[in-house]
A and B are shown apart, each in its own frame.
Chain A
Amino acid sequence: MSSADKFQQAVANRHQYAREWKQRTGGRVAGYLCTYVPEEVFYAAGMLPVRIIGSHEPESVTSPYIFGMFCSHCRDCLAQGLQGRYDYLDAVSTAHCCVHSFQTFDSWRRHIPVEHFYYVSMPQLIQSRGAQRSMLAEVTVLKERLEADLGRSIPASAMEQAIGVYNRNRRLMRQVYELRQRDNPPITGAECMEMVMASQVMDKEEHSRLVESLLKEFEAAPPVREVGVRLLVAGQTDSADVVRVIEELGTTVVADDLCFGSRYFWNEAVDGKDPLAALAQRYLERPPCPMKDLHGVRVRPGYLLDMAKEYRVQGAILIRQQFCDPHEYDMPAIKRLLEENGIPALIMEQDITIPLGQLRTRVEAHLELVQQEIA
């Protein structure tokens, strides 16, 4: 089995993986919703942090708790909890993001028995002068609460080690992303996304070893594939199959701005005297999601344009989950800037719980437009 296949398997069998990890190590598993959770703290406490991911199936269990206008991703995640698929979690955490993800977290807290819940009430105005201090306070509180709940302290050396493990993992994944700048990227967008998602559900060291193997495989025999139209995918989806559908239509997704993609791992925690301060800074400085890009003029459109240029993309698909207003506020501005710079961009709404068959037709229609604009 190739390393890429192993990533796919890891995501598909994430519940089994976590259960086996628990059995093997006797450790605890912490689920998190938002990637602004400084998960290194859980790792340093000997826990396995795993991202809560939906199953992309229609569901009807969340309607008593979540209003129908809340995003499909959040409803899908809560459905997993209500259906007992995450019954192995010892803790659930999220960071202050949008009201949708808060709702999922709060409903989880109300209806699904889990021993501990951790809400990271981080600042939204990440550029403001007090943000670093506020974030540091949050990371510190998280660590102290974990220590109290676990009944043991988390030494600075464990924090430093966790940061090292995470940074290495990030560095390796960035190496893979850099290969996508080539004329013939050795990896597809869907495979890349599976690599990142596997990192969110696996032990980081084990995942890093797999990424190393992947890089070696590429050195030995880079896969050959028709590249077609080079695309950037941005917005929100937790389904690599969506990207696969796009790539089946004569394209390669060479860059992404997704929190199930580059946004998750792009920057490292820079070593400093205080590991908690390094963590706080890392999370404030990572590529922002729409709910952290609030101060004055938006930075995301410019950031995405730079990425588009660096990866020489010819078109962009901006995926928005149905009823996701945070992304909706940014997308017209992103689309405008990309198009002003000759990159046709299409905003595509998706309900992650609706089977992909219906999506394919829409993507195809969208891609025809992209191709016309490129021609």
Chain B
Amino acid sequence: MAVQQRYPTRPLECWGKLEELRRRLVRDTYSARERGDLVVLGGPGPLPSVLCGLGGFQLLSPMPIGPDMQDLRLLTKMNELATAQGYGNDCCATLRIALGSMLMDRFGMNKRTGEILKPDIHFESLACQGQMKAQQLYQEYYFQLPSFVVEMPWQEEPRQADVDYLESQLQEAVEWLQKTTGREFNDELLAEGWLNEWRSRIYFSRIMEYQAAVPAPLDQKMLASFATLMWRGAMHLPEIRDFYKEAADEVAVRAKEGIAALATERCRLFHEGPVPWYPSNVLRYFNRYGAVCIGSWLYCTEFGNFTVNEDGSWDVCPMPEDMGLPLKTRDDILHSMAVVFTRYNPRPQLGARIDHRVNMARHFKVDGAVFALDRGCLGNTCGAMESIVAFKEAGLPVTSYEGACANPSELDQGEVVSRIDAFMESLGLKPLEPGRPLLQAEVGG
């Protein structure tokens, strides 16, 4: 029997700090009132740092993240409540559970104390149609929250008109924030927050860039854990910026020294599309075959700021000091935000995403791709079928399974496992470990 090559592996040194920061962010959110912080519904989208000009604030994510997402009974109930209100399965799955949890009086609940945190305003920048429509529901169902949304322009290619449009919306946002909250807007705090967000994003982009190394220094699940600080919209904080710098340095060393996320790596995959939040172990299921999900276009573009070259490599957005933009006044800051998010933001370039995916697959040396076709996330399934066609044309093996990231009734776990097994077999891989571990999700509540 051939001896399976084993790469050296070791835990991430920064992991403890990540856990600590995650816990602290949750604590800070729920103690917002003690410090007189503003509570803002929003966060995962770009540019939470616009809020920095208002002084102390905490973000409450409109995507209910946390323990509820692992609880099948609760999730099912939330989905049912949304359906009963007329928002069926074809609406955004995360919106449906947000709505369901609002209707169950669980939205914003501190799971430890049972206390509900009510936001003061809703503020987000969005490109997704589901999320754009969802903000109207926050007003209807959720305390008639005053809401302001910034549209991240969809682009065929980066253009000056989009910079102007985004910049003008940001100017309007600042005025709205001042008027709605009655707070003075501090331009120094705005600049500080934005520069931190900018740097955090670049460090995070670099972390993902190192995934091109063989063996992959991280797997997709680790990347997702790193992204939780981004999901909480905390990239404007100096300690988060410093954490990402430290993490990027550590991952660089791992890439250089050949430290693997999976010691038995012999097959590298992109897992495209939203990963089901329940069961939580789809990504790790591949490991028993010596296959590692190293990322995806979707993951990388969620919080990364870069452009994709024809060979699939990236030009990561320069650091503020290397960008050559004035950064003194409020206008300078808002302009630079608009420039970064139009020039270095592949996410809203819907037409380009298919070529980006194929080119990136080559650059990241993947052996194939798995597409989660999400029935409750049309924003992310746009282009998925075309990408599958393009992967096949490029000679890259590909498979898919259907589900909905936040609706357990849309995912047939047995079917997913069979499809993955069949795909692995088609790649000539046999399980390295005996047995047949099934996907699982916890039932609690």
Contact = CB atoms under 8 A, between A and B. Distances in A.
A127 to B, nearest CB: 10
A322 B155 CA distance: 27
Interface residues of B, number: 50
Interface string B267-307: 00000000000000000000000000000000000000000
Nearest to A323: B90
Given A121-B156, A325-B378, A137 B169 contact: no
A123 B153 contact: yes
B129 A125 contact: no
Interface of A: 63-67, 69-70, 96, 98-100, 102-103, 106-107, 109-110, 119, 121, 123-125, 128-131, 133-134, 137-138, 141, 290-291, 294-298, 322-326, 328-333, 335, 347
Contacts of B159: 137, 141
A324 B386 contact: no
Interface stretch (B59-67, B130-138, B247-255): B130-138
A329 B133 contact: yes
A106 B91 contact: no
A67 B137 CA distance: 26
A324 B133 CA distance: 13
Given A325-B378, A328-B86, A125 B149 contact: yes
Interface in B118-133: 129-130, 132-133
A297 B139 contact: yes
A21 B279 CA distance: 58
A70 B140 CA distance: 27
A100 B147 contact: no
Contacts of A297: 136, 139
B389 A331 contact: no
Interface string B136-165: 110110000001110101111001011011
A330 B381 CA distance: 22
B399 to A, nearest CB: 15
B392 to A, nearest CB: 10
What are the nearest 10 A-B pairs in CB distance? Answer: A130-B168, A332-B86, A137-B161, A329-B133, A134-B165, A99-B382, A323-B90, A125-B151, A130-B165, A67-B381
Interface of B: 85-88, 90-92, 129-130, 132-137, 139-140, 147-149, 151, 153-156, 159, 161-162, 164-169, 171-172, 350-351, 354, 373, 375, 378-379, 381-386, 389
B383 A106 contact: yes
A70 B85 contact: no
Contacts of A100: 378
Nearest to B171: A129
Nearest to B132: A294
Given A65-B385, A103-B383, A333-B140, A124 B132 contact: yes
B136 A294 contact: yes
A141 B382 CA distance: 25
Most chain A CB within 10 A, of B139, B154, B378, B379, is at: B378
A328 B156 CA distance: 27
A205 to B, nearest CB: 32
B161 A141 contact: yes
Contacts of B88: 328
Nearest to B376: A69
Contact of A324 (B90, B155, B162, B172): B90
A69 B154 contact: no
Nearest to A63: B385
Most chain A CB within 10 A, of B133, B171, B350, B379, is at: B133
